[in-house]
A and B are shown apart, each in its own frame.
Chain A
Amino acid sequence: MRASADSITYNKGSGIDRYPFLHYHSAMKLKTLVANLMLALVSTVLTLGVAEVAARVYLTQFAPERVFNRYASLAQLTARYGRPRFVSHRYLGFIPAPDFNNGLNRHNALGFRGEEIAQPKPAGVFRIVAIGGSTTYSAGVEDYRLSYPYLLQEELRTAGYEQVEVINAGVFSYSSLENLMNFQLRVLELDPDLVIVYEGVNEIATRLIWPYSFYRGDLSGFENRRLSFEPPWWEHSTLVRATLVYLRQTEPHSSLQRNFMEATGAFLGNNFVTQKLDGSYPSGPFERRSAAEILATNQPIYYERNLRALIAIAAGRGIDVLLVSFVHSPEFPEEPRAWAEEYMAAYAEQNAILAALAAETGAAFYDLAASMPTDKHYFTDGIHFSAQGNALRVEFLSEYLIATGLLP
């Protein structure tokens, strides 16, 4: 609009009067230039508009659930799901939103993935609580009835242990700190008879911290709490948002760091993943100090300490603990955390701690990493299990539980 107003001004000559060096021909050239620019602008806007509409239609109508979750704006997510899947928590950062219900997925009134549970625990019920991160929540499956704790309950009941109940207390991104806290603050009041702990990948992220003085027991050097999240202007454009997410310039809203936490400058986990993916590793901070060196400096001391604490508290209350080694499948090129050698070494190191802790404390240990095949179809991304993967995982676990007499 402004450009065309200017060109009218030039036609009347008043513009030229102020700039006597501008001749009539120049004014004509300028007019053509402005017209061309206008045309370019209009066509660009039109193209972007069409692309934006197409992106929106694809994302909201045709994209698979996972793609939608990754690229959608907050408004789009709210429109589809009604309410967020996670809610803020004073100590834990966030927990699954109580009473969340969306198609095949649901959380109960206490904020655990799955069906309602009776409180206090009914007499005769043998209550197992599964603790861990998204791999316990079972993020790879949309249907809560395909999550590993649910399948384990079904499997054990079919095997004749009808009094067994398995509660899914897994929450995305929980590392050993949140697992211990979750156990103390939310799981203890469920009065569990047995807890199964399965976690590994999130812990490694908390260790990819430099300078090492930021590697602390309270995770304060790893991330800060976000008080609120104000969506930026480009949140309104699906096209811009999807492009930025694709280029890893912004976090998907499904990323919980986006909503509740904010990584500190000392956290190098995202740089590591990005560089491994585009082949630029080691660059930036890793040029001076490799991820392997960082992980060697930031030993899993908190992992060990938190697990030892969990086992001690459980033992004090007569609750059995089963530690399960962490599994990954290197069959997914898009997930460096499932194939990068630094992560492989860290998994092995952490799994060895589980075995040692079990030997030291008398907690049970099941080496799932040794028995679980790593074929692609058992996983969705090399870390999270597919429905088939959960089913097989549950077969191993239930066999172990029955064989070792951990069940009544």
Chain B
Amino acid sequence: MTTKRNRVLKVFLLLLVLAVFVEGGARLWLGRFASEEQFARIASYRLLTIRYGEPPLDIHRTLAYTGVANVTRGASEHNALGWRGHSIEMPKPEGLFRIVAIGGSATYGAAVADDAEAYPALLAAELARQGYPQVEVINAGMLEYSSWETLLNFEFRVLDLEPDLVLVQAGVEDIAARLVWPSAAYRGDNSGYLLPPQPFRPPGWERSAALRWVAVALGQAQPYYDLTAKWRLRAETAYDLTLLEQARQGTYPAGIFQETPLAAMLAANLPIYFMNNLEGLARVAQVNDVPVVFITSPAYGWFGGQPEISAALQAALDEHNQIVAGLATTLDMGLFNLADTLPAEAAYYAGGTNLSAAGNAEWARQLAEFLVAEGWLP
């Protein structure tokens, strides 16, 4: 009897020690040896925020989220409106020419840590150098904003600033919004892609690095990849994260994409809402006497080893850029074709659609030239 109990106890202790070792090993590997990408894939939300900090986002009544207001982190600052950069003077001072740049991660400058290296700040500096010191450029872009949020941002927040010119870049984030299946879930209110804001409570077992590793490896848990996940909880019908995971693991096409390849999904979910949103933005700008310059979105070096995926994504982005160009022409708005003019060189990019400091600088330089040459400035 006692021997039997001892044996059970021994097995239990052995398992316990083993579990501790596995967990310890997983943590050690994750913390010390895993690459940045492996860490982003496996780490729990908590570990991610410990390493990178909470994303500088906060809940918003109308846009679901916007930037945290009044914070400074290193060389990055958010003003009272939660946007990247210094505080904004309201009402607009006499004689000031106010440009507001709106868009998603590229406008925000997701890949540059210093506010001064994002294109809106560089544009202001460039224009000041060229003899336009009265021009102010506000960065009202926000991480991961698609055309939906950009439209609402413009209508309900940017108009309050009395802009003299609005620079609009949209296209990249709207690709993910089309990766919704079944197609009936692809709707004008984006509800098939993103859920309403709700408390974000990662499951308790996430605290174990080993369990999280196993769950991610078995496809039972979604990698976070980026910390905006908390503010952009996906609907059950959204497949952008599934695609990202398959692209990174080289397992594409698997699961949903076996039946409906990426190109077929994009072909079923045409960018009608992207067009609606930007057309709406343009018309609202018109009746408020705000001139608009649309900017197309460049990309370079999407998932290098996955030609099928990168070709489909690039085709979707080209399609969006064509819509932007078409709207600019039919509605008589400005068009700055960055997708064509930014050289396809690795130095300008920070992976896919995000631009490096050099990319932002080149963007600002070209855009300043364009605005001056085309007579958009006073």
Contacts and interface: CB of A to CB of B under 8 A. Distances in A.
Is this pair of chains taken from one and the same complex?
A: yes
B306 to A, nearest CB: 30
Given A186-B189, A189-B187, A309-B287, A91 B152 contact: yes
Contacts of B195: 90
Interface stretch (A213-221, A243-251, A347-355): A213-221
Contacts of B157: 216-218
A177 B189 contact: no
A188 B276 contact: yes
B199 A228 contact: yes
B155 interface: yes
Contact of A313 (B63, B189, B198, B280): B280
A227 B188 contact: no
A184 B151 contact: yes
Interface string B229-266: 00000000000000000000000000000000000000
B62 interface: yes
Given A312-B283, A316-B283, A225 B60 contact: yes
Interface string B198-239: 110000000000000000000000000000000000000000
A312 B286 contact: yes
A217 B189 CA distance: 20
B189 A89 contact: yes
B342 interface: no
Contact of A312 (B188, B189, B284): B284
Contacts of B188: 184-186, 188-189
A407 interface: no
Contacts of B197: 90, 225, 227
Interface string B125-155: 0000000000000000000000010011001
A397 interface: no
Contacts of A315: 283
Contacts of B277: 184
Contacts of B152: 91, 181
A297 interface: no
B190 interface: yes
A218 B283 contact: no
Contacts of B190: 90-91, 185
Nearest to A317: B279
Nearest to B90: A213
Contact of B63 (A216, A218, A309, A311): A218
Given A218-B62, A219-B62, A225-B61, A90 B194 contact: yes
Nearest to A93: B61
Contacts of B60: 218, 220, 225
A88 B60 CA distance: 14
Interface string B276-302: 110110011011100000000000000
Nearest to A228: B199
Interface in A281-313: 305-306, 308-309, 311-313
Contact of A227 (B59, B61, B151, B283): B59
A261 B197 CA distance: 12
Interface string A204-248: 000000000000111110111101100000000000000000000
Contacts of A181: 62, 152
A146 interface: no
Given A180-B155, A218-B157, A185 B189 contact: yes
A311 B194 CA distance: 28
A91 B187 contact: no
A91 B159 CA distance: 18
Contacts of B59: 224-225, 227
A256 B135 CA distance: 44
A315 B283 CA distance: 9
A109 to B, nearest CB: 10
Contacts of B287: 308-309, 311-312
Contacts of B194: 90
Interface string A360-371: 000000000000
Given A91-B62, A180-B155, A228 B284 contact: no
Given A227-B197, A308-B287, A217 B159 contact: yes
Contacts of A308: 287-288
Contacts of A89: 189, 191, 196
A309 B284 contact: yes
Nearest to B194: A90
Given A90-B189, A312-B286, A316-B279, A177 B198 contact: no
A227 B198 contact: yes
Given A89-B189, A91-B152, A189-B188, 16 more contacts: A90-B191, A91-B64, A180-B155, A181-B62, A185-B188, A186-B189, A188-B276, A216-B157, A217-B160, A218-B60, A218-B62, A218-B157, A219-B61, A219-B62, A312-B283, A316-B279
12 contacts: A91-B190, A177-B156, A184-B276, A185-B190, A188-B276, A218-B63, A227-B198, A228-B199, A311-B287, A312-B287, A313-B284, A316-B283
Nearest first, the 7 closest Cβ-Cβ pairs linking A and B are A88-B196, A185-B189, A218-B156, A189-B188, A312-B287, A309-B284, A312-B283
Interface of B: 59-64, 148, 151-152, 155-157, 159-160, 187-191, 194-199, 276-277, 279-280, 283-284, 286-288
